[in-house]
Chain A
Amino acid sequence: GQQVMQIPQYQHVQEGEDFTTYCNSSTTLSNIQWYKQRPGGHPVFLIQLVKSGEVKKQKRLTFQFGEAKKNSSLHITATQTTDVGTYFCAGPGTSYDKVIFGPGTSLSVIP
C-alpha cells in the first residue's frame, strides 16, 4: 500500500546549526503538507505544497516539493530552542479525503 517515510527519525543539533528532514512517498502526490508537534502538544499545520519543484519559505523554514512530486524536505536555518518538536509530512491517501502521515522527525536543540 501507499507509504510515506521520513528520515531521520531523530536529530539532535546544537543551537544555531541547520536542520533538514526528508519525506518520501511510494506514490506521486498531488500535494504535501507539513505539521509541527511540540512536546506534549498537538500537530499544527505549517504549510501545503502543490506544484512540482515548489519552494516556500516561512522565516527560517524552507519547504521544497520534489520535481517528481514524490519527495519533500523541510530545512530550518540556524535552529533555535523554539524549533524543538516533531515534524510530520503528510500526503493524500488513496481516498480523496484522507491523508497519510509520515512517522515524523523528532528535533532536539541543545542550547
Chain B
Amino acid sequence: DGGITQSPKYLFRKEGQNVTLSCEQNLNHDAMYWYRQDPGQGLRLIYYSQIVNDFQKGDIAEGYSVSREKKESFPLTVTSAQKNPTAFYLCASRTQWGYTFGSGTRLTVV
C-alpha cells in the first residue's frame, strides 16, 4: 500500500540533545511537509520541500532543520535550540486533492 511512514511513533529526548524524526513516502509525491501539533491545537508548518535538494522554512522553523536528498525521504531534526519541543509531529505529502499524513511521532522532552 502507498503511504507515508513516520518513525519512531514515540520518542523521548533529553535536554540538549538533537533528535531526528524519519519520514518516508512511496507515493511518488514531489511536495512534502512537516507540521507540529500541540495538544488541542491546530497544525503549524515547520518546513516544506517541493523538490529534491530544496526546502523552505515554514511559520515555526526556528530550532528545526531538514534535508531532502531523496524524493522519498524528508527527515526532520529537532535541535537543542528548540526550547519547547514536546509535541506531536506530522509529516505529509501533497497531491492536487489534498494532503496525505503519516501517523505521526510524539516527542517528549525528559
Smallest Cβ-Cβ distance to B90: which chain A residue: A42
Instruction: From A42, A45, A48, A88, give the contact of B42 (CB < 8 A).
Output: A88
Interface flag for B67 (CB, 8 Å): no
Asked if A97 and B98 sit within 8 Å, CB to CB, the answer is: no
Task: Mark contacts of B15-49 with chain A using CB atoms, 8 A cut-off: 1 yes-contact digit, 0 otherwise.
Answer: 00000000000000001000100001111010010
Give chain B interface residues in 89-103, CB to chain A under 8 Å.
Answer: 90, 94, 97-103
B50 in contact (CB, < 8 A): yes
| Number of chain B residues whose Cβ lies closer than 8 Å to a Cβ of chain A | 20
Give CA–CA (A32, B70) in the complex, Å. 30
CB–CB B31/A42 < 8 A: no
| CB-based contact A48/B97 at 8 Å | yes
Q: How far is the CB of B58 from chain A (nearest CB, A)?
A: 8
The majority secondary structure among interface residues of chain A is strand
Please name all residues of chain B whose beta carbon is closer than 8 Å to the beta carbon of A104 when the two chains form the complex. Answer: 42
> A45 to chain B: which residues have CB within 8 Å?
97-100
Chain B contacts of A90 at CB under 8 A? Answer: 99
Cβ contacts A93-107/B at 8 Å (1 or 0 each): 000011101111010
State in angstroms the CA–CA spacing of A104 and B102 once bound together: 19
Contact of A44 among B41, B94, B101 (CB under 8 A): B101
A48–B98 CB distance below 8 A: yes
B41 to chain A: closest residue by CB: A103
> Per a CB cutoff under 8 Å, which of A41, A97, A102, A106 touches B94?
A97
| CB proximity of A80 to chain B, nearest CB, Å | 23
Given contact pairs A42-B104, A44-B101, A45-B100, enumerate 9 new A-B contacts (beta carbons under 8 Å).
A35-B99, A43-B43, A45-B97, A45-B98, A48-B98, A90-B99, A99-B99, A101-B42, A103-B42
Q: Can you offer 9 A-B residue contacts whose CB atoms are under 8 A?
A: A33-B98, A35-B98, A42-B101, A43-B90, A43-B101, A45-B99, A97-B48, A97-B94, A103-B41
